[in-house]
A and B are shown apart, each in its own frame.
Chain A
Amino acid sequence: MATCKQIRNNVYDFLDGELTPGQNKTVEKHIAGCKNCEAYLHNSKNVNHILELLGNQSGKGVATKIIPPTIES
């Protein structure tokens, strides 16, 4: 049995599709039975969505701003 913490640590990987099929199944199983984790998944999905929106909307300007000057890219 996976604990809530384990599930939450892997939520973003789950959303990005980086988990194995077995892990995906355990996450889905847990979320079907745990309302809190379902809400957590929901929120993190929204966060992903928001961040994508922010990145896309702000376009070039923000992107150049966002890159911290310390990193050599």
Chain B
Amino acid sequence: MKILNEPNVGVLLTSEDEDRVDKALRTMSKSIKSSPFEGKSLFQQFGKSLPTYGKGLAGWQKFLRNVKSAPETTYSRMGQRVPKLTQLAGPIGTRSTGKPSQLSQSDAPLEITPPQVEEESTFSRTGQKPVRETQVANNIPYGIPEQRVAVQKPQNKLVLPPKPRKEVPIQKIEYKIPTQQEQEVVKAKQKEKAREIASKDNMEFGFQGPFDRSNLDKWPDIGKAYELWAPQMYKRAVKLLEGNKGATQAAEDAVAEAFVEQEEYLRDLKRGYRINKKTGKQEPVVFDRPYDNISAFKHALLKRVFHRAIDISRKLTNQRKIGSEDIYNDEGEDIEIVDKVNLPPDEKIMNEEQKKQLNAVIEQLPDKYKKVLKLSMPGANTATMKKFTDQEIADQLAVPIGTVKTWKNKAKSLIADKLRQIYGNEFEESVFEPRRIPIDR
């Protein structure tokens, strides 16, 4: 007789029981090597939870009671009771295979023993019992499954008739291959459209080509061409660059670059040579293919736009790969490359001229920025000789704090721009020692 180490388990175990518990636990977990009753307590070895029996003492109590009540049953790895093979097989030789089972070879007698079912015993967490009460009552031998009779449930639910399907008429689309005549009609229409556009352009410029070296003066003026054609070309370039970061800005740049290029090209044509950028030498300009009409000229311009746009898009993709700094930010605005300017670091160096310059710069600012900036400068508050806080300024000007802040920042950034224009990098090199202000405040 032995009581488990844990005082609250309260289940008496005989030595036979111990063996059974030992066996059962060994099937449940393979990691046990020594007897569970040696050395450490059961809790220490298995933790506080048993599979399928639940946590804590209650689980253990259930398990031990089960072991005691049905001593001959074996246990699965998950702790569930497994009925014996003899019980499972039922009458010998009635398997679906038709062959006599292995048990029939040995003359083992059929052991059909109805298990002793206690009232409280439950064999799994779900409360499943191995034998149904009806089976016990009707003396049906253990292991033979009860025939299930389909019970018709009372149909209280409202059964809705199935929804009628919507019949969607299938539209048959017939693709006709256009005949030659139709194709010719379409082509003629396209030509007419092109002619209309060309005539419109001609009307605007007053000269109809062909454009060659002899009539360079009559070629369309680039400025005028930019006004007329830039919007169209911009649209085309945007379409080409769609999906790129900063596409709109890139397209604008492409158009501008293309027109500048064309202007330079015309200039070179007029003077008869171009200057090679790498070598710096003069080269004769070859112009073998004069433009037939103004639309050809326009087309040449458009081609340039496309090429520049492709260049820029390639640059953008390369940048993304390398992960270097962006040319354009998310909103497509051009980020300036900022020159670092070292402005007077010490009080001594601030001479009268610089003061005047600074005051002049401040005076040039827009009114609202000026107001806010001056109020936020030290000495603005005559009573305390300190600067006004943002809240005070907001109260004075009757605007929210956020706008005060943005105005102030804008004013400061404008001043920084102006000062950069005035001093540039000269200032850094000549007057002051170059010094880097560390990032931390």
Contacts and interface: CB of A to CB of B under 8 A. Distances in A.
A16 B340 CA distance: 21
A39 to B, nearest CB: 4
A44 to B, nearest CB: 6
Interface of A: 3-5, 8-9, 11-15, 17, 28, 31-32, 34-36, 38-60, 62-64, 66-68, 70-73
A50 to B, nearest CB: 5
A44 B413 CA distance: 7
B216 interface: no
Contacts of B343: 43, 46-47, 49-50
Contacts of A4: 326, 329, 335
Interface in B308-360: 325-326, 329-331, 333, 335-345, 347, 350, 355, 358-359
Contacts of B170: none
Looking at A53, A64, A73, the one whose CB has the most chain B CB atoms below 10 A away is A53
B347 A47 contact: no
B371 interface: yes
Interface residues of B, number: 51
Nearest to A56: B378
A54 to B, nearest CB: 6
B156 to A, nearest CB: 59
Contact of A46 (B333, B341, B377): B341
Interface stretch (B103-111, B195-203, B277-285, B379-387): B379-387
Contact of A5 (B329, B347, B380): B329
B374 A66 contact: yes
Interface in B375-413: 375, 377-382, 385, 387, 396-397, 405-406, 408-409, 412-413
Given A47-B416, A64-B382, A40 B338 contact: yes
Contact of A67 (B336, B345, B382): B382
Given A50-B419, A67-B374, 20 more contacts: A3-B329, A4-B326, A4-B329, A9-B409, A12-B408, A17-B441, A43-B416, A46-B345, A47-B415, A50-B344, A54-B355, A55-B378, A57-B347, A57-B355, A58-B379, A60-B379, A63-B379, A63-B382, A68-B371, A71-B371
B439 interface: yes
Nearest first, the 8 A-B pairs at minimum CB distance are A55-B378, A63-B379, A55-B377, A46-B343, A39-B340, A66-B374, A39-B338, A55-B379
B437 A42 contact: yes
B153 interface: no
A5 B331 CA distance: 9
Given A15-B441, A39-B338, A58-B379, A53 B331 contact: no
B412 A63 contact: no
Nearest to B414: A47
A63 B385 contact: yes
B439 A41 contact: yes
Contacts of B381: 63
B404 to A, nearest CB: 12
Contacts of A71: 371, 375, 396-397
Contact of B330 (A5, A14, A48, A57): A5
A45 B374 CA distance: 17
